[in-house]
Amino acid sequence: MSYPIVFYSPVATITKDEENARKRKMSIIIEQYKNKVSTLYTNDDHHLCKYEGFWYFQLFYHHSKADFSVESIMALQDDFQAQPTDVFLTSHPKTGTTWLKALSFAILNRNKFKLDLGSRPHHPLLTISPHDCVPFMETEAFLNNPSYANGLMATHIPYTSLPKSIISSNCRIVYVCRNPKDVLISYWHFDNKLKDDDSIPTKLDDVFELFRRGMNPFGSFWDHVIGYYKASLEHPDKVLFLKYEDLKKDPESEVKKLAKFIGNPFTEEEEYDGLVQEIIKLCGFENLSEANKGEEKTSKVLSDDIYFRKGVVGDSVNYLTTEMIRILDKITKEKCDGLDFSFGA
């Protein structure tokens, strides 16, 4: 199967006018879905609400959590039109999204942006965040001119809640999953990094309790993974299911698999020239975390380095108690019962 080659460009920096337009559009979206959202079941402090079986922030209560809110998902479900050539990078938060974005961007743009990492490196991934190279649909929903047209985008929306046109069109979906224990620890650190310096850090016990009950944004984690896993079995030409741990263990074959699936397989010559290895190196944790250090270079709310912490498999053993591990393993066993599926670690 061959696909047209589409060129992608990084998201431009948002100007002040665009930011104002974004705020206006956000107010319209809040108003539009106010009634629908008010009927949803919320948790005790109205922090999250449940929609189509998964938990989300509500923009209505948390203006600061504008992106990734239930309203943005509703707006995308109503308005988003997928194109047959689109590629969607999908994931539950903290499972390797940033890495998958970088790899896919580098693969699809390898003729446009050469990979020479020599003395004068110039690849976009060395100067801007993978999140600016590949936007989230959820954040673009509030822009007047979303960069959907670029054809490569990401989302944390669960499979069963994806806009219908993504399911019905011939576009491709790549999902990356990671073992729940490392996801929980990564999320806990991320959540605390998002807090102001004078806020009290969230305790691991509290995050654990919510995570195991599925009450985290885009949770339940297990239902999220299983939804995409089943879709990948039913539609293997449409949904590619990757594991963070496999990418760590055998990056070369996983990257080749990814390139083939997204319509840009490496030629024998490219492989011979070491291009696969160069892409792996460019997108490796060491390289990207170094490139994203320091002040934010682009327009986003979050600084670029918040997405890079340790980037290893199994760090959760340094934080979780034996009892927490037992409980998480038990949930995994129950949720995956009858499925030929196991997490990579």
Residues that bind ligand PAP (CB under 6 A): 91, 93-99, 182, 186, 189, 283-285, 288, 307-311, 315
Q: How far is the CB of 31 from ligand PAP (least distance, A)?
A: 28
**SS3 label, residue 187:** helix
Nearer to ligand PAP by Cβ, of 98 and 264: the residue is 98
Q: How far is the CB of 135 from ligand PAP (least distance, A)?
A: 12
Nearer to ligand PAP by Cβ, of 40 and 297: the residue is 297
Q: How far is the CB of 176 from ligand PAP (least distance, A)?
A: 7
Q: How far is the CB of 144 from ligand PAP (least distance, A)?
A: 24
Which letter, b or e, does each residue of 230-245 get, where b requires 16 or more Cβ atoms within 10 Å of its Cβ?
bbbeeeeebbbbbbbb
Nearer to ligand PAP by Cβ, of 37 and 108: the residue is 108
- Tokens of residue 137, six digits: 């649909």
Which among 163, 194, 169 is positioned nearest to 57, based on CA atoms?
A: 194
Is the Cβ–Cβ distance between 113 and 123 less than 8 Å?
Answer: yes
Nearer to ligand PAP by Cβ, of 60 and 99: the residue is 99
Nearer to ligand PAP by Cβ, of 186 and 264: the residue is 186
| Catalytic, out of 123, 156, 189, 224 | 156
Is the Cβ–Cβ distance between 152 and 105 less than 8 Å?
Answer: yes
Nearer to ligand PAP by Cβ, of 37 and 210: the residue is 210
Decide if 156 is catalytic.
yes
Residue 115: how many CA atoms within 13 Å on its side-chain side? 21
Q: How far is the CB of 180 from ligand PAP (least distance, A)?
A: 12
Which letter, b or e, does each residue of 176-209 get, where b requires 16 or more Cβ atoms within 10 Å of its Cβ?
bbbbbbbbbbbbbbebeeeeeeeeeeeebeebbe
Q: H helices of the chain, where?
A: 16-38, 70-79, 97-108, 130-133, 137-140, 164-168, 180-193, 204-212, 221-234, 244-249, 251-261, 268-272, 275-282, 285-291, 322-335
Tell me if the bond preceding 147 is cis, omega within 30° of 0: no
**SS3 label, residue 175:** strand
Q: How far is the CB of 94 from ligand PAP (least distance, A)?
A: 4
Catalytic residues: 156
